[in-house]
Structure 1
Amino acid sequence: MTRSHRMALRIAAWFCVALLAFLALVPGDFQIRTPAPGLLEHVVAYLGTAILFALSYPDMRYRIAALLIAYGGVLEAMQSFSPGRHPTELDASASALGVILGISLGAILVTRPQQEPGASDGGERTY
């Protein structure tokens, strides 16, 4: 991965951190919802963020996983102070599951062998 690609992934990952905070703490009347169940929203949001972090900081996966899980828990607890919102352990658990899945998928993507663009596998195909 080139340096510019890694920088773009880092910017996207940190943008997701800010977006997670906004979406978690916006008052209930202004909450943005999708048709998906809330738990699935948590899993997907944290999965995507974790993948971006795992790809952009490949040597820090375990630290990132711990910090993102803690961040999700803190954001969930802070909902106590946001009008119309309430924290739940189930939501925090869904966020943690998303982090674990995202870091795992990111690790798989980072460790798989990279093939040069336009290169073939060199093998003859028989049909």
Structure 2
Amino acid sequence: MKYVINSLRALPLLGYAVFIGYASTLPSAEMPNLNVWDKLQHFGAYLLFVLLAYPLTLQPRNLHLIVIAICAYGGALELAQAFSPGRYASFLDFIANSFGALSGLLLLKIFLSSNKPRPIQDSLGR
């Protein structure tokens, strides 16, 4: 039963990974025009990717491994775009993806460090 619950927790991340993969390999004629700066889209998409992955980490200190995997996935998708009609692989898109993922890691590290229990001090600051 525990395995099923953990598998269900992975569904949002898996769905998002499939969505990113699908959107990244669409032929350019089928791409929706969102009128948003392209690199900002990449940055935000991969920042969200890391935030969705966090609840699945068994130990928060291993989050950097997930970020590396997400960056590698982004790199693989950029290479796959070279084979999609009207698309091309872009190193700058890969950089934007990676900065988004790293920013997600930084946000989580800041959040996690600010939520650590602090020792109670007496009125003298001890």
- TM-score range relative to shorter protein: 0.7 to 0.9
Q: 1:76, 1:92 within 8 Å by CA — same for their partners in 2? A: yes
Aligned: 1:107 with 2:109: yes
> 1:12 Cα deviation (Å)?
1.6
Q: Give the alignment partner of residue 71 of structure 2, picking from 65, 69, 72.
A: 69
What is the total number of aligned residue pairs between the two structures? 111
Aligned: 1:32 with 2:32: yes
**Matched position secondary structure for 2:24:** helix
Report the counterpart of residue 120 of structure 1 in structure 2: none
Percent of pairs with identical residues:
25
> 1:86 Cα deviation (Å)?
0.7
**Matched position secondary structure for 2:72:** helix
The 2-side partners of 1:15 and 1:63 are apart by 20
The 2-side partners of 1:6 and 1:107 are apart by 23
Report the counterpart of residue 98 of structure 1 in structure 2: 100
Unaligned runs of 5+ in 1: 116-127
Unaligned runs of 5+ in 2: 118-126
> 1:104 Cα deviation (Å)?
1.8
Aligned: 1:12 with 2:12: yes
Instruction: Decide which moves more: 77-86 or 12-21.
Output: 12-21
The 2-side partners of 1:8 and 1:69 are apart by 24
The 2-side partners of 1:38 and 1:49 are apart by 17
**Matched position secondary structure for 1:81:** coil
RMSD (Å), alpha carbons: 2.3
Q: TM-score, normalised by structure 2?
A: 0.77
Instruction: Decide which moves more: 85-94 or 52-61.
Output: 52-61
Return the letter of the residue paired with 1:107. K
> 1:8 Cα deviation (Å)?
6.3
Return the letter of the residue paired with 1:109. F
> 1:54 Cα deviation (Å)?
2.1
Return the letter of the residue paired with 1:83. P
The 2-side partners of 1:62 and 1:99 are apart by 10
> 1:32 Cα deviation (Å)?
2.1
